[in-house]
Amino acid sequence: MSRTDDNWLLRVRNLTKIYGEPNENTLNMTGPLFNSNICPETDAIVACADISFDLYPGEVLGIVGESGSGKSTVVRLLYFDMEKTAGSAFLKPYNSGLANILEESNQKKRFIRNHLMGMVYQNPRDGLNFRFSSGGNIAEKLIMAGNMNVGQIRGRASELLEKTEVPVQRMDDRPSSFSGGMQQRVQISKAIANNPPLLFLDEVTTGLDVSVQAKVLDLIRELQQDLGIAMIVVSHDLSVIRMLTDRTIVLKDGRIVESGLTDQILQDPQHEYSQLLVSSLL
């Protein structure tokens, strides 16, 4: 599925995260063939290994797989929430895509995170500070990217809340007084506050009621079309992947077992495991 053109936004190569102490056999004794991500010799856990893909500007990539397959690990590594074991990631708008962002200083990682990326977590408490108001949460993100006065911040915060369909008069209320769906909308507002070219969404509708899920997914789709932002959408739920994504990576036991156009994978899954996922959708 690799494209030859050079206009990628994010390029990921051999991204690997191992917990515990691996030995020289760990990578060869784990993965889909072994139905396990645990090394039988050392008990090291291969959360993900050898993950490579390119993401293009404005494209939506899905990462699907059952619980524990390594989906969150991939996006959390890319968002610098955790340290990689091995691999590289390049982001075109940063240093012309020449630097492995996973090996930059913490200061530079903060810059990249504040200006070039957004993250929406499954649990709103991971993405929002519940001691701040909803507007305060957005303000925090705006301030971290610098150069705004109080008036501008309030203006931008209300614009963002409006865009994500949160009643603007609730700007000074804390997220704890909001419904789950509304908390996710505030998280999305915060994540896109600085107009990043890249947004990660990790199981963002998983905890919500079905009717609320549908509305939040609609919002994400509208924002994507409106802003042209590239997204990596992580979900165990193929119906979410079907609704939002152009291309999909299927993960099992920390490895990519299949990748391709989402429509193609849904119509004609090649790998046994993808076939299982798709059959459960019908």
Among 18, 27, 29, 47, binds ligand ADP (CB under 6 A): 47
When CB distances are held under 5 to 8 angstroms depending on the partner's kind, the choice from Mg ion, ligand ADP, none that residue 84 binds is: none
Q: Does 68 bind ligand ADP (CB under 6 A)?
A: yes
Distance in angstroms (rounded) separating the CA atoms of residues 44 and 18: 7
Q: With respect to ligand ADP, which residue has the nearer C-beta, 85 or 95?
A: 85
When CB distances are held under 5 to 8 angstroms depending on the partner's kind, the choice from Mg ion, ligand ADP, none that residue 68 binds is: ligand ADP
When CB distances are held under 5 to 8 angstroms depending on the partner's kind, the choice from Mg ion, ligand ADP, none that residue 56 binds is: none
Query: What SS3 state is found at 22?
Result: coil
Residue 166 sits at φ, ψ, to 5 deg, of -105, 130
- Alpha carbon distances (Å) from 180 to 91, 122, 162, 243, 280: 32, 10, 17, 21, 27
- Choose the binding region for ligand ADP from 24-32, 68-76, 132-140, 147-155 (rule: CB under 6 A): 68-76
Q: How far is the CB of 46 from ligand ADP (least distance, A)?
A: 8
Q: How far is the CB of 270 from Mg ion (least distance, A)?
A: 24
Among 11, 19, 104, 264, binds ligand ADP (CB under 6 A): 19
Residue 199 forms beta bridges with which residues?
Answer: 118, 231
Q: How far is the CB of 256 from ligand ADP (least distance, A)?
A: 13
Distance in angstroms (rounded) separating the CA atoms of residues 190 and 29: 41
Among 15, 27, 45, 139, binds ligand ADP (CB under 6 A): 45
Q: With respect to Mg ion, which residue has the nearer C-beta, 72 or 213?
A: 72
Q: With respect to Mg ion, which residue has the nearer C-beta, 193 or 238?
A: 238
Q: In what side-by-side order are the strands of the sheet with 60-64?
A: 117-120, 198-202, 230-235, 60-64, 247-252, 255-261
- Choose the binding region for ligand ADP from 65-73, 103-111, 189-197, 210-218 (rule: CB under 6 A): 65-73
The helix (run of H) or strand (run of E) holding residue 89 is strand 86-91
* Closest to 258 in 3D by CA, of 249, 246, 268: 249
Q: Does 70 bind ligand ADP (CB under 6 A)?
A: yes
Q: With respect to ligand ADP, which residue has the nearer C-beta, 45 or 201?
A: 45
Among 31, 32, 65, 197, binds ligand ADP (CB under 6 A): 65
Q: With respect to Mg ion, which residue has the nearer C-beta, 81 or 159?
A: 81
Cα dihedral 237, 240, 243, 246, rounded to 10, equals: -80
Q: How far is the CB of 47 from ligand ADP (least distance, A)?
A: 3
Q: List helix spans (H) across the chain.
A: 71-78, 106-116, 124-127, 134-144, 150-163, 180-191, 210-227, 238-244, 262-267, 272-281
